[in-house]
Amino acid sequence: MQSVLSQDFPGIEYVIVDGGSTDGTLDILRAHQDRIGLWVSAADGGISDAFNKGIALSRGDIIGLLNSDDWYEPGAVRAVVAEMQRTGADIACGRLQHWDGDRRTYQASSDPAQLARGMTVGHPTVFVRHASYRRFGPFRLDFRLAMDYEWLLRAKLAGASFVVVDRCLAHMQGGGVGDKRWRNSQREVAGARALHVRGADNALAYNVFIARRIVVGYVRRLLDACGLGVLRRAYHRWLAPVKVTANRDDGAR
C-alpha cells in the first residue's frame, strides 16, 4: 500500500480487491480509507476473478495490477505514464526486482517480443490501457496460476503494442502461489501456448515444453541448494530469454 500511496504521480485511483480476509487486513484498509479510492472484501473465484473485479471497478485510463507482497519502485507510475503517452503503446512493462525475505536476489528484464517462448514479462511491472482490457477481453477464470501469461500472450498475438520502460518498476517477494505450485503453473503456461502459438497445440509439443520447464526448475533449485546459485545467475545473464540485469545484493529492503 505504501508503495502505491507514495507515488509522485497525481490523480492515482487506488482500488483494492480483498478476498474476504480475516487476518487484520480490513483494519488496515479502514485506517487508510481516506486515501483509497475504493475497496471491497468478499470471497472470489481466484486470482483471475479478483483481477477482473479490480479492472471493472477502475475508472482510470491506465491500470496496474499489484499482488499481495509486491510493491512499486518510487517514481514507477510517472515513468510508465510518460512512456505510454510518448509511444501510444497499449501495454508497458519493465525490470522486476526479486526478493527472498529481506534479501534481494536478482533483477530481471521484460521482453514481450519473446512471449511465445514463455513468461518473459514481469507481471508486477505491467500497466495496461483500460481500453485494451475491453479490446482483448478479461482474464480467463479457467487459468488459476498463469492467467497473466495467457492474457499477455493473447494480447500480444492479437496486435497489442508494448513499450519496455528501461528501469526497475516493481519488486516481487518470493514464496507466492506461483512459486509453491510452480509445476502446475508451467502446465498452464503450456496450455496457454497450445491455445495461441502455432505448432504448440499437439501432445508432443505440449509435453516436451512441460518436461523442459520442470527439469530447468529442478536444476535451478538444486544449484541453489548446493550453493551454486552463481551458475543459475550466469545462465540468466547470458543465455535466458529474460536477462538478469543485476546480481544478488545482500542489502536489506
For residue 86, pLDDT beyond 90: yes
Give tens-digit pLDDT for 203-219. Answer: 999 899 988 888 876 67
CA–CA separation, 2 and 150 (whole Å): 29
Three cell numbers written together for 53: 473485479
Three cell numbers written together for 240: 535466458
pLDDT for res 72: 98
Closest CA to 108 of 96, 125, 93: 96
pLDDT for res 106: 87
Q: How confident is the model at residue 250 (pLDDT cuts 50, 70, 90)?
A: very low
For residue 235, pLDDT beyond 70: no
Q: Reduced to 3 states, what is the DSSP secondary structure of residue 189?
A: helix
Give tens-digit pLDDT for 106-131. Answer: 899 999 999 999 999 999 999 999 99
pLDDT for res 230: 60
pLDDT for res 57: 97
Q: How far is CA 150 from the centre of its chain?
A: 12
**Is-contact 19 25, C-beta < 8 A?**
no
pLDDT for res 105: 86
pLDDT for res 65: 98
DSSP secondary structure of 121-170:
S-GGG-EEEHHHHHHH----TT-SSSHHHHHHHHHHHTT--EEEEEEEEE
Cβ contacts of 209 within 8 Å, gap of 6 or more: 186, 189, 190, 193, 200
CA–CA separation, 132 and 242 (whole Å): 24
The residue ranges of every structural domain in the chain are 2-241
CA–CA separation, 141 and 49 (whole Å): 6
Closest CA to 120 of 246, 240, 247, 248: 240
pLDDT for res 215: 82
Give tens-digit pLDDT for 141-178. Answer: 999 999 999 999 999 999 999 999 999 999 999 866 65
Architecture of domain 2-241 in this structure: Alpha-Beta Complex (3.90)
Three cell numbers written together for 24: 487484520
Q: How confident is the model at residue 253 (pLDDT cuts 50, 70, 90)?
A: very low
Buried/exposed 134-172: b ≥16 CB within 10 Å, e otherwise? eebebbbeebbbbbbbbbbbbbbeeebbbbbbeebbbbb
DSSP secondary structure of 62-97:
EEE---TTEEEPTTHHHHHHHHHHHH--SEEEEEEE
Give tens-digit pLDDT for 91-109. Answer: 999 999 999 889 998 899 9
pTM of the predicted structure, to 2 decimals: 0.87
Give tens-digit pLDDT for 7-61. Answer: 999 999 999 999 999 999 999 999 999 999 999 999 999 999 999 999 999 999 9
Start-to-end CA span in the chain (Å):
16
Q: How confident is the model at residue 182 (pLDDT cuts 50, 70, 90)?
A: confident
